Amino acid sequence: MGYNPYNGYSGKERDEKEAERARLLKSGEIQLRHTPCELCGDPDTPTKAHVEDYSKPYQWEPPAEYMVCETCENDMLQKRFRNKDRWDSFKAHVRRGGYARDLQDPVINKEFLDYRDAREKGEKVELKKLRDRPESKDEWWERLSLDSNTLTDPKSRPRP
Ligand SMILES: [Zn+2]
């Protein structure tokens, strides 16, 4: 599969957990968790595991891993190190009750792009609320690192 390092785990370690996941799913020893996207909250989207913790013994639930939609995983979580401003703006979008797929709506996407521009210029702007989202001070995605050193530093592992 050829994963890159993440959270201080090598590509090989990441491959090994994914291989074990495939094996356990096939044998029925673990089941896919069906949940709304555990980042943006979209209740109506396919999700896959975003893994923060590849340590053994393997854990298959939060906080080791979260079920997230494809846009949150591929466009946002994986690209956050290269595009920090976009990640910050996306978090603001989620806080205002936005789903990742809302950004496919041209009107919402325009608002999002304008918001990013305004922030870059140092203007204080707000995105308008899209839906109620439960207030939480401790969302896992609020705490993710943007320091690319954490990709390879073994000290960034959640568990040894
Ligand atoms: Zn999502």
pTM value is 0.93
Kindly give the distance from the C-alpha atom of residue 37 to the centroid of ligand 1, in angstroms, as a whole number: 5
Kindly give the distance from the C-alpha atom of residue 38 to the centroid of ligand 1, in angstroms, as a whole number: 7
**How far apart, in whole angstroms, are the C-alpha atoms of residue 156 and residue 96?**
29
Question: Cα-Cα-Cα-Cα dihedral of 9, 56, 34, 26, to 10°?
Answer: 110
Lowest mean pLDDT among 87-96, 98-107, 133-142: 133-142
Q: Where are the domains of the chain?
A: 11-134+141-147
pLDDT at residue 146 is higher than 70? yes
Kindly give the distance from the C-alpha atom of residue 71 to the centroid of ligand 1, in angstroms, as a whole number: 6
**How far apart, in whole angstroms, are the C-alpha atoms of residue 117 and residue 127?**
12
Residue, of 134 and 128, whose pLDDT is higher: 128
Kindly give the distance from the C-alpha atom of residue 91 to the centroid of ligand 1, in angstroms, as a whole number: 11
pLDDT at residue 113 is higher than 80? yes
HSE at residue 151, side-chain half, CA atoms within 13 A, is: 14
pLDDT above 70: percentage of residues in the chain: 99
Kindly give the distance from the C-alpha atom of residue 97 to the centroid of ligand 1, in angstroms, as a whole number: 11
pLDDT at residue 115 is higher than 90? yes
- What are the pLDDT digits (tens) for 63-87? 999 999 999 999 999 999 999 999 9
H helices of 35-83, in order, are 70
Q: Kindly indicate the confidence band of residue 126, based on its pLDDT and cuts at 50, 70 and 90.
A: very high
Kindly give the distance from the C-alpha atom of residue 92 to the centroid of ligand 1, in angstroms, as a whole number: 13
